[in-house]
A and B are shown apart, each in its own frame.
Chain A
Amino acid sequence: MADIVLDHVTKRYADGQLAVDDASLSIADGEFVILVGPSGCGKSTTLNMIAGLEDISSGELRIGGAVVNDLAPKDRDIAMVFQSYALYPHMSVRRNMGFALELAKRPKSEINQKVEEAARVLDLTEHLDRRPAQLSGGQRQRVAMGRAIVRSPKAFLMDEPLSNLDAKLRVQMRTEVSRLQNRLGTTTVYVTHDQTEAMTLGDRVAVLRSGRIQQVGTPTELYGRPATVFVAGFIGSPAMNFVPATVEEGELRTPLGTISPDDRQRRLLEGWSGGAAGRRELIVGARPEHFEDAALESVTGRPGLRFTVPVDVLERLGSDSYAYFTLDGGRASIADLDELAHDAGTVDLASGAEQIVARLDAASRIREGENAELWLDTTQLHLFDPDTGHNLACKTDHCDGTAGDGLNTSGEG
């Protein structure tokens, strides 16, 4: 077991493409860290560099204190779980799980004992003598996990290990992975594109975009204090809503209505130089759960913004309802959001109007196709610089230490 440190690690391919740009991240011994981001963000490349399957162009990678940049994968003592599981089709489950020990020339009895113990933990005992092709998807996934744990390596590297499972099994295996990692206490780096998986599994989560680490933090930190528009939009489901705003006479003019900032927000706006061009325009982010049906007792009398909109679609989920409506007055436009839309596949759907989703209490009597008065908890709003995409809160009062780390390293570039 060991800690893993990425020290200004960069990966540039022969064709000049920059896959990972100056990533610094330090993973403590026994920690479970998630690398998350849309496809092409460099998360798998980062993992492959830790494994030694791809070269590091510049920077330093340390495992357990030793620089391993030039070590072959076999000399790094790490185990990996692949998205495709990569089980050897011509070997039985037993030999698949024991292959690494066999290559390391361990005695037969020891291999057998370790394989059988891992099989017991993963409930694979009765399948040990089968071939991978005879197993179900979930069983294959467990064999891949078993192959990793048999070795008691310094670290586990997992590359989207659950993404080939169907939704129900994925949720089940998620808790399984979590339990296993707790029990073994082995340092784990886990790559996924699924933000739910990232939020539920990790001690800490690193959000990547276009080869750069955007923010590193606990799931709560990422959700509550996103450092950039990208992180804000990527973490959380349904995603945060973004609307453009202008600052006039100390108030925020938005398509939702005019918002009077509270003390915290006023301080942020005062400390903000006003963007590169000196414009007083910014992007306001509001999470769906910070809206409510204005008619409900729970919000009557509470300060906030009240506005009336026609509800296009209302989804009743039982526990709560999602109300969708569109706003005139332009969209918040920034590269981060374009990329998020691209990742979600909604890039073509984006019209001139901004679609907003609000999560309402199930008791709401609002009906689809009618006008409804909604309430927004304006104290919970996030304010972003439209030029850099940075959260204003992260510039003035250091929204959290880890986010600062992530930003600083990228800022040096």
Chain B
Amino acid sequence: MSAGAKAPLSAGARAQRRLGWALCAPAVVVILAVTGYPIGYAVYLSLQRYDLRFPGDSKFIGLANYGTALTSSLWWQALAVTAIITVISVAIQFVLGMALALVMHRALIGRGLVRTVILIPYGIVTVVAAFGWRYAWTPDTGYLSGLFGDATPLTSQVWGIAVIILAEVWKTTPFMALLLLAGLALVPEELLRAAKVDGATAWQRLTRIMLPLMKPAILVAVLFRVLDSFRIFDSIYVLTAGAYDTRSVSILGYDNLFTALNLGVGSSLSVLIFLVVALVAFIFVKGFGAAAPGGEDR
């Protein structure tokens, strides 16, 4: 056993490194150019007084923009609305998605048909789907407008949020269902038969066998949906445009830029939203042990 303990990298390993970096470089550059730099720029802007209406009046003002944002009831309301939409819609998506996944997994007939059809809501442009719902509830025009008497759902906060959640659930339950279906495929059929022989009812088989085994798939699916719901923008823009106190944080950030034209405050909102999302992701990964997809390649 001669030296060799701290052998320098062999030619092959060095070539592999170089190739690995070379292949990843373009993707990394694009990703960093559009996220790393701008988010840094956003942090910088958020520390400035920067109003597009008065561009000459820019100057460094420290954390004042954050103060403005955090003391504004608009921010807290938008955060609350976003949280409500996220929690309720993901909860409904999970229950419906699970049911849908079970149907696709177990159905005696029409599995392929169902799988094809549920991809349509997934594929439809969110804005288009939102228009579909908007005109469904528009008084006189829509087929659903008479459902609750003379109510005009899109002109009140509670009903507005309800319709937003409906649109969100309709659009993204299929995605949840497909992720859960893939998780279901990981539950060995034999285990379910064994549980049946052991005397477990269908409900017990679901809660005691399937769900625990599907936990990794469920956590990934829920994490994806939570973070995606948190960014909700398109449907609200079309359905209520944020009126009647139905603004999400994304709508608020957008409004601050394009309606109020205040880049400083808008940027501080951007940073705050980013921090909230990072916090939620952190809680999921650390608290529930959600595996990062693709993260465990070994």
Contacts and interface: CB of A to CB of B under 8 A. Distances in A.
Interface in A392-413: 412-413
A58 B13 contact: no
Question: By DSSP majority rule, is chain B's interface helix, strand, loop, or mixed?
Answer: loop
Interface in B38-85: none
Contact of B1 (A22, A56, A70): A22
B2 A8 contact: yes
Contacts of B4: 10, 12, 57-58
Contact of B11 (A10, A55, A412): A55
B257 to A, nearest CB: 48
B12 A55 contact: yes
A54 B1 CA distance: 19
6 contacts: A12-B4, A12-B7, A14-B13, A55-B12, A56-B10, A70-B11
Interface in A363-413: 412-413
A21 B10 contact: no
B3 interface: yes
A54 B12 CA distance: 8
A55 B1 contact: no
Which size bracket describes the interface of A in this complex? 10 to 19
Contacts of A22: 1-2
Contacts of A413: 1
A77 B107 CA distance: 55
A10 B1 contact: yes
A14 B7 CA distance: 9
A56 B13 CA distance: 11
B262 to A, nearest CB: 52
Nearest to B2: A58
Interface of A: 8, 10, 12, 14, 21-22, 54-58, 70, 412-413
Contacts of B3: 58
Given A10-B4, A22-B1, A22-B2, 8 more contacts: A10-B2, A21-B1, A55-B10, A55-B12, A56-B10, A58-B2, A58-B7, A412-B1
Contact-size category for B: 10 to 19
A18 B10 CA distance: 15
Interface of B: 1-5, 7, 9-13
A8 B5 CA distance: 14
A70 B12 CA distance: 8
A56 B10 CA distance: 8
Contacts of B12: 54-55
A107 to B, nearest CB: 33
Contacts of B9: 14
B222 to A, nearest CB: 34
Given A55-B10, A55-B12, A57-B10, A12 B2 contact: no
A61 B31 CA distance: 44
Give the most central of A8, A54, A57, A70: most B CB within 10 Å: A57
Nearest to A413: B1
A12 B5 contact: yes
Contacts of A55: 10-13
A251 B11 CA distance: 59
Contacts of A21: 1
A21 B12 CA distance: 20
A203 to B, nearest CB: 29
Contacts of A8: 2
B1 A57 contact: no
B48 to A, nearest CB: 47
A1 B3 CA distance: 33
Given A10-B1, A22-B1, A413-B1, A57 B7 contact: yes
A209 to B, nearest CB: 16
A297 B187 CA distance: 61
A335 B13 CA distance: 34
B243 to A, nearest CB: 57
Nearest to B1: A413
Contacts of A14: 9, 13
A413 B7 CA distance: 17
Nearest to A55: B10
A413 B13 CA distance: 26
Contacts of A412: 1
Residue from the set A54, A55, A56, A413 with the largest chain B CB neighbour count within 10 Å = A55
B95 to A, nearest CB: 41
A10 B4 CA distance: 8
A22 B1 CA distance: 6
A57 B4 CA distance: 7
A12 B3 CA distance: 11
A207 to B, nearest CB: 19
